[in-house]
Structures are given as C-alpha cells and as structure tokens.
Amino acid sequence: MINLFSFCDFPWWLTWLLPFLLGLALGYLLWARYKSIIGDLENQINQLNLRIGDLEAALKACKDGKSVLEGDLAILRGKLRESELELSKALSLKDSGVVAKAALSSTSTVTTPSDSGDAWFAAIGTDNLQIIEGVGPKMQEVLNENGIHSFGILATKSPEELRAILDKYGDKYRIIDPTTWSQQAALADNRKWNELIALQKSLDTGRGDTDPGHETDSKLEKWLIKHNLLRAWKTDDLKAVEGIGVKIEELLHNAGIQTWKALAATSTEKLQEILTAAGSRFSLADPGTWAQQADLAAQGKWNDLKALQDYLVAGKEKK
C-alpha cells in the first residue's frame, strides 16, 4: 500500500519555524554587514581626528611663523626707508656736483655718518623735533621760527632761553614746561634712543615727574611703533624673542619661565631640555640666543635687540 504525503500531517509549528529561521539568518547577515560598515566609519573618523590634530599643529606653526614674519616685515620696512633716504642723499650729492668733485681729487672724500646703518636715525633724521616729549606740530613751528631746526641746536638752549621764546607767543604757552627739552634733544642728537625712551617714560608731557615710581608712555617709542620700526610688546611677552612663538611660549610658561628676566637667567641647556621633552615638532627650535635677547628686552634696549635680531633667522644666527 502506497503512503502518500499529506500536508495535513505536516507539523504546524514547523510552518512557523522555517520563516523565523530564514528571517533570523537574513537579520544576522544584515547585522554583520552594518557592523562592518560601522567599523569602517569608525576607522575613518579616527583617521580624520588624527588629520585634524595634524592640521591644528600645522595651524599653530603657521601662526608662530606669521608672528616671526610680521616682525621681519617691520624690520624690512625700516630698512626700505633707510635705503630710500640714502638714495635721496646720493642723488642730492650727485646733483650738487659733490660726487664729481670727489672723483677729481685723490684727497677729496664724501663722508657719511658712522652710524648711517641706524634705521631709526634714517627714519627720524636730525630735525624731527616732534619726537621730543612736550613738542607738537605747532610747537615745532614756533621753535623753527626762532632758528631751532635740529636736535643739536635745541640741545644748546637752556630752559630759560626756551621759556623766553614761548613767552613771546602769549599766555597760551605759559602752561608748557620746556625744562627737559634740551636734555631730550641731546640724547636724540647723539642717537641714544634707548636712554631717550627711558627718560620720556619718567616724564609727564615733557615735565619732570615728581613720582619716581611712575611711568608714562614714551613719545619716541609710540612714534617708532607707528612707523613699524619697533614692535609693541606687552611686558614679559616672551614672543618678543626671535624664535619663540605661541606654542613655545606656552611650554616655557609651563616650565615656570614667565618673564624676560627669568628667561635671561635660564641656560641654553635647560631650554633645550624643555624643547626636547615636548617632542620632535620642536626639534628645529634653537634657543642659543634666547637668553641674550630676553636680557635686552628686560633692560628695554630695544634698538640693541633689533640690531641683534637683524642677524638672526627664527632665533638662530645666520650661517
């Protein structure tokens, strides 16, 4: 007798189990696929985070480089003015025949100031009396009208002589005190710019300050900053040192070096240890001149600091 298969004899639960197993298998396959996709995306995210970290480091390096380049640009502008002045003088000598006369005589020479490389002097000259604390445009006109056209001439005038000149112009000049003008002019005439800046910081619009601990702004310093011959630095801003940017300044602060004086007292070996401990990204930094630069900044010898930095590239001596 032949037994025929009957669906009626098929277990009812098996009709539910097969679709369930198929669905479970399909779900597993989809889950495995999506897990693989998620793993790939997480790897991409990690790579992007690393890339972002590299870009942030590069951005900080660019900012440090920008700070250095801005300083170099200010120095180059000063040198450009110096070159323009020297060219103007050369053309003037040529037009007046001085150069030709010098060529005709073996004993004739055309002399120039021994400090002609001073960019500040090249920009200021000998007759810009307005860098004197207490002298403005109108006051310079008054001095010029009375035969005072240069620092050298002003330096020879006593406070009494200057007072007599001012009195000729009425009561509006009685409040002006020319007591220190000759002293300031003598410093300018001798190109003692740092001493002049220090003196002006102890004055109040040209008058002697009765409070020895009080400092005001220096008119010469503000003039130099305005004409891009001097960079304005806040006290103890370590970025005033060539070769130190934002990130390195942060490293030095973390190492307890907060001021110019502290940096000046730190050995090159100690500075190199700080840089080495911070990683390979600072391997190109050379702290060899940092203490010397910081010492000049601490003493306010900005002209000397600028002269030194003219011979440096990112804090290193030029090869």
- For residue 92, name the pLDDT band (cuts at 50, 70, 90): low
Higher pLDDT, 313 or 309: 309
Average pLDDT, the chain: 78
Residues 300 and 274 placed together within one structural domain of the fold: yes
**Does the predicted model carry a pTM greater than 0.95?**
no
Q: Which residues, in sequence order, are CB contacts of 295 under 8 Å at separation 6+?
A: 260, 264
- Confirm whether 56 is domain-assigned: no
- Confirm whether 105 is domain-assigned: no
- For residue 7, name the pLDDT band (cuts at 50, 70, 90): low
Contact 314, 68 (CB under 8 A): yes
What is the per-residue pLDDT for 70?
65
- Confirm whether 15 is domain-assigned: no
Predicted confidence (pLDDT) per residue in 234-273, tens digit: 788 898 898 888 899 999 999 999 999 999 999 999 999 9
Question: Across residues 41-46, what is the average pLDDT?
Answer: 88
**Residue range of the domain that includes 251:** 238-317
Question: Across residues 55-75, what is the average pLDDT?
Answer: 74
- Confirm whether 265 is domain-assigned: yes
Contact 136, 130 (CB under 8 A): yes
- Confirm whether 252 is domain-assigned: yes
- Confirm whether 165 is domain-assigned: yes
Q: What's the rounded Cα separation, in Å, for the pair 199 and 134?
A: 13
Q: Which of 200, 226, 252 is the last residue of a domain?
A: 226
**b/e per residue 236-255 (b: at least 16 CB within 10 A):** bebbbbbbbbebbbebbeeb
The encoded tokens of residue 131 equal 């860098």
Q: What's the rounded Cα separation, in Å, for the pair 173 and 14?
A: 115
- Confirm whether 20 is domain-assigned: no
Residues 212 and 169 placed together within one structural domain of the fold: yes
Residues 246 and 221 placed together within one structural domain of the fold: no
Q: What's the rounded Cα separation, in Å, for the pair 80 and 83?
A: 5
Q: Count the domains in the chain.
A: 2
What is the per-residue pLDDT for 90?
61
pLDDT of 111 over the 90 cut: no
Residues 131 and 160 placed together within one structural domain of the fold: yes
Residues 140 and 193 placed together within one structural domain of the fold: yes
Predicted confidence (pLDDT) per residue in 187-196, tens digit: 999 999 888 9
pLDDT of 156 over the 90 cut: yes
Q: Which residues, in sequence order, are CB contacts of 248 under 8 Å at separation 6+?
A: 64, 238, 275, 282, 285
- Confirm whether 2 is domain-assigned: no
